[in-house]
Structure 1
Amino acid sequence: MRLSLHRPWAWAVAALAATASLVLALLDPRADAAPALPLTDVRTVAASAVEDEGADCPVGGTPAGSTSQLPDPFTRIDGTGVTSKADWRCRRAEIRELAERTVYGQKPAKPTVTGTVSSTGITVDVSDQGRRATFSAKVELPSGSGPFPAVIVIGGLGADTATIKAAGAAVISFDPLAVGREGTARNNKQGAFYTLYGNTSSTGLLMAWSWGVSRIIDVVQQSGGTVLRGDSLGVTGCSRYGKGAFVAGAFDQRIALTMPVESGTGGAPILRGVNGESGAQPLSSAYGEQPWLGDAFTSYTGNPAGLPVDTHQMIGMIAPRGLFVMENPHVDWLAARSGSVAALGGAEIYKALGAQNAISYWSDVQDGTHCAARSEWRTPMQQSINAFLKNSGSGPGVFRVAPSKAGSLSNWRSWTTPTLADGGTSGGTTTGTTSGTTGGTTTGGTTSGTTTGTTTGTTTGTTAGTTSGSTGGTPGAGCSAAHRTVNSWNGGHQGEVTVRNTGTTALSGWSVGLTLGSGQTLTSVWNGVNTGSTGAVTVRNATWNGAVGAGASVTFGYTADGGTTAPAGLTCTAS
């Protein structure tokens, strides 16, 4: 007999002892027996082999009170801090519970799923608690021989399927309305999900669509990998389907690459920001337009400060797997400024887990057409597919923020990013390798990653400052630093510094000194580790990009508030 246990909402589960946690893990079908895939390379973080690695983690207690700031992703409900990468598994479980309870509604435990996979389609047959529902999806294969990685395209609107197939991945076209229909009342929801769990279920459509994606993955994994690879799956969608892609990636750790496009309110943008962002869709509108969000969210449409979570933490639920967020700054309704804050906040979690290059963000686009396939996104999308679905190369790790919609993370947080130790205890009953254990250490509150992506888009100015640094006592060593302003806006700018090895021997490390203008403050840094954020600042290499061959170069980027003046007095010191 198959046992099914839905997680209770009562916070009293915090009192359960470790033995009880083991019993819960054995009863919960989401605690699948298959272990997580091992992590062998920080550049290409493997997806999990199970839907939810933290299903066995006991979650309880009372969340902290109301705050207008973004909640600290590194502080547990009980007030203790996350100190190791392994701790993230059960901290993620806390965020998952809070997000389900307040924002999206519950994602039920894994039901009984059967189905078929062919070169043209997928059938899904789901049974739970004596009820049955079916739905299907279309498959388009790329050229070549399989089995192929695949990207699940929710809704079809705005997805660049040509680029996906050109990169060697199949397209699985999923109609989410078959699972959760729009245009229905909250007390009469329709579709396969609600056939199983009741038309008065408090779970919103976004979570229902996410559930549908998970059931497709079940079938692909069970198919034996003759057509599609069950360990190399991504998800994407645009507009409301971008919201669904974002939720799907957050709530299923088997998804190796999540690519939400122009998701707007209820998607990637921080919930605390959209009501105050000029022209953005208000929370009440997103809640009322369709039953996308869970019924419980009605309590927060006018009080987002009361939410115990926000979307930067949902981005953290995706970490350290691949994530490429694409936004449109030309349509105010889409809340791209709040989206940039969410991405910068989520990138801090990626940085803490040592997976800096696994997150990319791009809103600096020329075409303002909603859900257009854009040339600026093509190369980083291909790089993401290669890295996270084909295990070839590294993710783009690029942040290109539109100057007109550049948010400031420093205005939204009072917390800092800790240096998480390797190893440690993860809490609960471990059911496989924790996907957050990626090796390496990081320091401070900076975001880092590999910036081998494209540099197309709007750039303003090329303020140079090439200065050779000291050799650090190593014969033949030397480096230079050159700055360019990538974007600027009223009150801030985004810059990029290229560090070049000017010597005859390889560098093992580098540091760049620069002086910010009066009143300027660094708000984020990636591909480097900064000391100081005002005045004279030093940026050192991250643990993974200190080695620079003779004649080669690396780059780091940053955003700064307080003016558009480029930093002065650049120096480079080699080691």
Structure 2
Amino acid sequence: MRLSPGSLAVPILTVWLLAPWTRGDDPKPPVKMTAQEDHKRMMELLGIKELRRGADGNPKSERAANLDESKANPYLDLPDPLTLKNGKKVTTAEAWTNERRPEIVEDFDREVYGRVPKDTPKVKWEVTSTEKQSVGEVPVVTKKLVGRVDNSTYPLVTVDIQLTLTTPAGAKGPVPVMMEFGFNFGGKGPAPKAGAPPSWQQQVLAKGWGYAIIVPTSVQADNGAGLTSGIIGLCNKGQPRKPDDWGALRAWAWGASRALDYFKTDKDVDAKRVGIEGLSRYGKAAIVTMAYDERFAIGFIGSSGAGGAKLHRRDYGEKVENVASSGEYHWMAGNYLKYAGPLTAKDLPVDAHELVALCAPRPVFISVGSLQVEGGWVDARGMFMAGAEAGRVYELLGKKGLGTSEFPKQETALTDGDVAFRQHAGGHTTGPNWPTFLTFAERYFK
């Protein structure tokens, strides 16, 4: 039978043909699991029956973290950042850049931080507000931005990156910017208490620079239950991770890189002079950002501890077993769990000194608080040792390392080289080290 163009049978037939295709193409909802369930799933995927328990932060516990320096270095041999896997020594900058550096990145990707998918979705930045303010006595312009991540491949997960950018209102051109992994306080930061020293934001502005705050949890949740949402869940279409998929630290670093993409388009920012700063878990994210994205000019790494600038092979404070637990494993690749059972930290193909070395030749400032106030959990000496060992790579590239392997007295600033270190007398904060860092950074941001 021939149907006339005006027949109702045509649209009815069309709907009948399209409907099954539409229904069949509906995406599956994200898998929902608790962190403990996902952690157990990853252990089963790796064939691990049991993980060793981590250290306890309570000094009175039977499993208290070791704070005895005589017992802190059970594994004395660190992987050599200047020896290729075939045993050949690296003696030139070209060999480091073209051969050894890619080997180290591959090991970190596979075993420690996880791989970023080759095709991550694009981010479209939107300035949601522009406000003239004063921070202290400095007139500024603060932009609030949202980075809308393209979720057309999986509409059930939405990722909107939160970012604020504050620059001096009277700047005559683009300015350097320090970006912090932190919380969005409308750009100003919390008001300093009466009689307190200037906030870090005020100190940055006093140099004529700007600052930005990116909210990492707007990129990826800080828990294992969130691994099927956020940017990781979006890229995996709501499915659980594979053992070498990226964890939250790489996801947060990816978000910072997308913010830097935006800065390259903003006439108020000198995108070649953008630094990254973070504290604690965000200190870990800051050193990972510096290591992987060579566009960042400088890093201010605050009390980053295990998984950051602290040597994994140190038994002092937090250990690999702590980071591999169900409360922290989401920061890392699933493969990292292997090193809490049956393997050990000694079996890791890389260590934190090589993470610092990946930042070379760009400057890095390692910050930590005092043993008496902050405590030993983050292992000040372990971070210092990583910085000192990384110096060999800096020197190969024509730069200067820490200049010493002797752990300095508290409040001694080692800032003559391109790797810097200072242990302040305060607690779990970068606050007391901001003045020293800014003096250090001024050498590069002039």
After TM superposition, is the score higher than 0.5?
Answer: yes
Aligned residue for 1:549? none
Report the more deviating stretch, 115-124 or 334-343.
115-124
Aligned residue for 1:99? 108
Give the secondary-structure state (helix, strand or coil) at the position aligned to 1:263: coil
Counterpart code for 2:386: A
Runs of 4+ in 1 over 6 A off after TM superposition: none
Q: Which has more helix, going by share of residues?
A: 2
Given that residues 167 and 385 in structure 1 are in contact (C-alpha distance below 8 angstroms), is that contact kept between their aligned partners in structure 2? Answer: no
Aligned residue for 2:144? 121
Aligned residue for 2:202? 162
Instruction: Tell me the number of residue pairs that the alignment of Structure 1 and Structure 2 aligns.
Output: 313
The correspondence of residues 291-310 of structure 1 with structure 2, limited to 5 A, is: 291-302=330-341, 303-310=344-351
Counterpart code for 1:114: K
* TM value normalised by structure 1: 0.51
* TM value normalised by structure 2: 0.65
The correspondence of residues 14-413 of structure 1 with structure 2, limited to 5 A, is: 69-90=77-98, 91-109=100-118, 111=120, 112-116=122-126, 119-127=142-150, 130-131=153-154, 133-142=159-168, 144-145=170-171, 146-156=173-183, 160-185=200-225, 188-199=227-238, 200-201=240-241, 202-221=245-264, 223=265, 225-273=266-314, 276-277=315-316, 280-288=317-325, 289-290=327-328, 291-302=330-341, 303-330=344-371, 331-356=375-400, 357-363=417-423, 365-367=424-426, 369-371=427-429, 373-374=431-432, 377-388=433-444, 390=445, 392=446
CA RMSD of aligned residues (A): 2.3
Q: Distance in 2 between matches of 1:355 and 1:128?
A: 43
- Residues 149 and 193 of structure 1, relative CA distance in 2, 3 Å threshold: farther
Q: Distance in 1 between matches of 2:291 and 2:237?
A: 24
Given that residues 142 and 166 in structure 1 are in contact (C-alpha distance below 8 angstroms), is that contact kept between their aligned partners in structure 2? Answer: no
Counterpart code for 1:138: T
Give the secondary-structure state (helix, strand or coil) at the position aligned to 1:101: helix
- Residues 73 and 162 of structure 1, relative CA distance in 2, 3 Å threshold: same
Q: Distance in 1 between matches of 2:365 and 2:247?
A: 24
Counterpart code for 1:147: P
Given that residues 301 and 367 in structure 2 are in contact (C-alpha distance below 8 angstroms), is that contact kept between their aligned partners in structure 1? Answer: yes
Given that residues 159 and 218 in structure 2 are in contact (C-alpha distance below 8 angstroms), is that contact kept between their aligned partners in structure 1? Answer: no
Consecutive unaligned residues of structure 2, counting only runs of 5 or more, are 1-74, 131-141, 190-198, 401-416
Q: Which has more strand, going by share of residues?
A: 1
Given that residues 280 and 303 in structure 2 are in contact (C-alpha distance below 8 angstroms), is that contact kept between their aligned partners in structure 1? Answer: yes
Given that residues 168 and 209 in structure 2 are in contact (C-alpha distance below 8 angstroms), is that contact kept between their aligned partners in structure 1? Answer: yes
Give the secondary-structure state (helix, strand or coil) at the position aligned to 1:165: helix
Given that residues 176 and 273 in structure 2 are in contact (C-alpha distance below 8 angstroms), is that contact kept between their aligned partners in structure 1? Answer: yes
Q: Distance in 2 between matches of 1:172 and 1:110?
A: 26
- Residues 82 and 326 of structure 1, relative CA distance in 2, 3 Å threshold: same
- Residues 198 and 208 of structure 1, relative CA distance in 2, 3 Å threshold: farther
The correspondence of residues 543-562 of structure 1 with structure 2, limited to 5 A, is: none
Counterpart code for 2:260: I
Counterpart code for 1:135: I
Consecutive unaligned residues of structure 1, counting only runs of 5 or more, are 1-66, 393-575
Counterpart code for 1:240: R
Q: Distance in 2 between matches of 1:231 and 1:116?
A: 22
Report the more deviating stretch, 327-336 or 252-261.
327-336
- Residues 362 and 351 of structure 1, relative CA distance in 2, 3 Å threshold: same
Counterpart code for 1:353: L
